[in-house]
Chain A
């Protein structure tokens, strides 16, 4: 009782309105855009279910909001104590996925619980952030670090990255690595270690390319370099996305007017390419506004980190911010053709229960840290 009383008082005093409004703004635009993305199916009796996707997404946002509130009100120091337990649970789920192998689209990412299926690799993103943050917080030394010093923290995100790669899900694996790497970048690295790290990275990348990636993953990456060479396969997706965005022009075709989407030329328009739908409908001006919102939320996460009262809080804030940032950057990058198509969702824009819940829980943590600064 007293906990909640104290909580509500703090909430009134420290409630992070900029974060809340930024997130709400993107979420609302995201739902509206999802409506446009799936609107071609409204009159199609066979696929009418797809047209109701935006309603479903609102449910997920509400559920995500509840989980996020929970993540915000519990003192994050209790969460810090639970970090490794959650992490262990996440690793176990990832192993379970590999064992169960319920095949969806050529890779196994889901755990099927009858009515619900969920993607442990999504929730794992938050658990990785928490675990790495705790590891960083456990080492209070402020001088420059060696690679050995950072190895345990690196292991914490490398392990799930490998497990997810086995599914195989190259995109999510990359997100773990990018988030973990960003968090590690909070600490200082010795110059000599940096050199060793960079030279060591090259053979790792090389062997990853040859042995770590599946054929179709390599195809995806290569087809990004020459989308015209593969007009019917993956290159086609990238090409049509680019055409859609370009077709938006300065002012856009208008809400539900983008022909690339309305006539079915955008594949995966509700999961991988919702940004292309938005860019076609609203044009460069709309994109500018949307990107400003995304950039603001990313920067605001760093601000929250800078205001956090301890290392764990700061690291979690940076981790969540990095998660949000890398998703955004990779997804938009692939839709506009500067990055390969790897199937990374756009937070609050792509349809999906697991990813929406994860994102909302992440923002709950940010709010938590902001409240307790």
Chain B
């Protein structure tokens, strides 16, 4: 049989709500996918800079920075694979910092300025505790080995923000030696986390993460988006059906995940009382707790754009967030 389907390379990390697509159970109509799952930083860097893949999960921060600087080679779809509150990404010297307000004037280590997780973390410090990026002194270095390349640089640092690079040191050493007072990074190596467990000196800024994150959500109505899906623009121009077909497949996969949680024939996930947990999440987030599409995510997207602007990633925060995404046909379940 003649197969005219379009072969596409799709870089996608491992998600239970995406699994039916990567396993082939749910097809992207018209597409023969070739899935690639590489470490996230490498996968993202190779997509944003050289478009090594046709379709890929990507960093929200890298995308808006490039897109609003006029780079139109990639267009986002409103599919949000990874979402996390990022209160967990700040560790502090407990002998110096006991509350967020203590960060005023502190030296804050970070691995890279244009990282989605730290955009959200800097934003929450500003929105909830009045700590602006300019209230801290920023020190950039590798986490556990010296030297870290920037995947992309911001067009400008916001006025009043000072960032120095320490190419020969690591954040981990500087935190323990006291050269910096705190550190903010999306991910910590196992060695760091093990050291923290037995340390009196270093710990999370927010010891009670759940409470701090719920307060943030209650105040802002935001559920932070980390990653979105991007497509090479020329493919969308060549195949006008492609954006909506991809969107539809991700919707079907996501819905399948949540339907499986309610399967009473067998426990599809090893979580006792998952229904009770789901119910409590629905009370917080609404019936659809992990929505795709623009409108149900407008507050989150607008907040992200505001943070990106306050932090120097983008010059213009007045753009309508819908303009960042390719138009897609809304998914309709049923007739």
A and B are interacting partners: no
**Residues of chain B at the chain A interface (Cβ within 8 Å):** none
